[in-house]
Amino acid sequence: MIFHVLTIFPEFFRGPFEHGVLARAVHTNKIQIRIHDLRQWTFDRHRSVDDRPFGGGEGMLMKPEPIFLAAQTILPEKSDNKKIALLSAQGRLFNQATARRWSELDEILLICGRYEGVDERVAEHLADDEVSIGDFVLSGGELGAALIIDAVARLVPGVLGNEASSENESFTGGLLDCPQFTRPADFRGHTVPEVLLGGNHEEIRKWRRSSALAKTARNRPDLLPKI
Ligand code: 9D3
């Protein structure tokens, strides 16, 4: 799968994919990540990518022309297995189901907004999807693009081992992971639940289920009605 990112801050993406699972996926050619500088598609003296909003208001907007030109060059033909996604605070929430669907694509172009937003014609007439990564305010789409690449890439066949599919299903199950422990069994007086130290796998299974429920009730009560 090829991930394209369109951004005015290409240097932002120097680091995030050079570690762990993603770095291995890149090095083994399971995925490609291509960062494109939006200013390549500006032709005025100041290489401007922004302009003032019609109707007035604070700040500047990303103008449509460089974005449309870039998309036309990066993904010259549309198809069912290629997608253009705009990252914006006004988008539909990106979640694990989105990640699962997108992991089946051949190519995706992630357009990162900056300033006060992006001319609406990008969402309406260029992007197939407009997505937000959560209900909080970011300074731009770049962190969102990195996050989406992480979430999607690990679901691309061959990127993870056999953890991928089972973990995927456990998320669908709708509960948070149960608490987990490693050695020592007593850390500064905080002990590991006794049941995990014995070999009774039926008891361990029951404990994991009920502690996952308790953890979900405490940290994500919103998930409980869904299970
Ligand atoms: C005047 C209101 N603006 C500031 C509160 C709206 C606004 C403009 C631009 C809010 C955020 C941004 C920049 N954000 C993104 O580009 C963005 C984003 C986000 O802010 N939250 C969650 N997901 C995303 S994806 C891209």
What DSSP designation does 200 have?
-
Contact, 159 vs 20, CB < 8 A?
no
Q: For position 144, what pLDDT does the model report?
A: 98
Mean pLDDT for 189-218 is: 98
Which residue's alpha carbon is nearest to atom 9 within ligand 1? 116
Mean pLDDT for 179-200 is: 98
Of ligand 1's atoms, which has the minimum distance to the CA of residue 131? Answer: 25
Which residues, 6+ apart, have CB-to-CB distance to 47 below 8 Å?
Answer: 39
Q: For position 115, what pLDDT does the model report?
A: 95
- Of the pLDDT bands very low, low, confident and very high (cuts 50, 70, 90), residue 72 is very high
pLDDT, tens digit (0-9, with 9 covering 90-100), for 38-49: 999 999 999 999
Task: Compute the distance from residue 92 Cα to the ligand 1 centre, in Å.
Answer: 13
Of ligand 1's atoms, which has the minimum distance to the CA of residue 139? Answer: 13
Task: Compute the distance from residue 219 Cα to the ligand 1 centre, in Å.
Answer: 26
Supply the mean pLDDT for the chain.
95
Task: Compute the distance from residue 110 Cα to the ligand 1 centre, in Å.
Answer: 15
Which residue's alpha carbon is nearest to atom 15 within ligand 1? 140
Classify strands 107-112 and 32-37 as parallel, antiparallel or unpaired. unpaired
pLDDT, tens digit (0-9, with 9 covering 90-100), for 154-184: 999 999 986 656 465 556 479 999 999 999 9
pLDDT, tens digit (0-9, with 9 covering 90-100), for 18-32: 999 999 999 999 999
Contact, 78 vs 46, CB < 8 A?
no
Which residue's alpha carbon is nearest to atom 13 within ligand 1? 140
pTM above 0.85, yes or no: yes
Q: For position 227, what pLDDT does the model report?
A: 85
Which residues sit with their C-beta closer than 6 Å to ligand 1?
Answer: 87-89, 113, 116-117, 132-134, 136-138, 140-141, 144
Which residues, 6+ apart, have CB-to-CB distance to 166 below 8 Å?
Answer: none
Of ligand 1's atoms, which has the minimum distance to the CA of residue 113? Answer: 16
Which residue's alpha carbon is nearest to atom 2 within ligand 1? 116
Of ligand 1's atoms, which has the minimum distance to the CA of residue 59? Answer: 1
Mean pLDDT for 199-220 is: 98
